[in-house]
Amino acid sequence: MNELKYEKAYHEAYSSFIRMMDKELDNAGCKYAEQYTNRVLSEKEKGHYPFQEGDDYWTIEHGRVVWSCWDDISEQMHDENPNQVYYKSESEATKQIDHESNKH
């Protein structure tokens, strides 16, 4: 086989391999994206999260009222600690602190 034929055969085999790998990676990426989207939509449709993205909420941390805005990080934190108590207003959280302090 002369050098030109070898280069042509190598180029065709390499190109075929690249096309095959590109298709496999594309399929894997599409499958992952679909699974992720289905999981996120499923959680939101089930009302898995107490707030929607952009909603203000408050928590009590170490005896202090803490304001936050619901986002994807809030969802991750909620997944890690689903028993966290959330408040829809600062006054609601403050009342809870006052109530707890009056118990003692």
* pTM for the model: 0.54
pLDDT in tens, 65-99: 999 999 999 999 998 998 999 999 999 999 999 98
Confidence of residue 42 (pLDDT cuts 50, 70, 90): low
CA distances from 50 to 34, 70, 78 (A): 24, 9, 9
Share of the chain above pLDDT 90, in %: 40
Q: Is 49 exposed, middle or buried, given 0-12, 13-18 or 19+ CB atoms closer than 10 A?
A: middle
Domain residue extents for the chain: 1-48, 51-104
> What average pLDDT does this structure show over 14-19?
81
pLDDT score of 45 more than 80: no
Of residues 89 and 39, more confidence is placed in 89
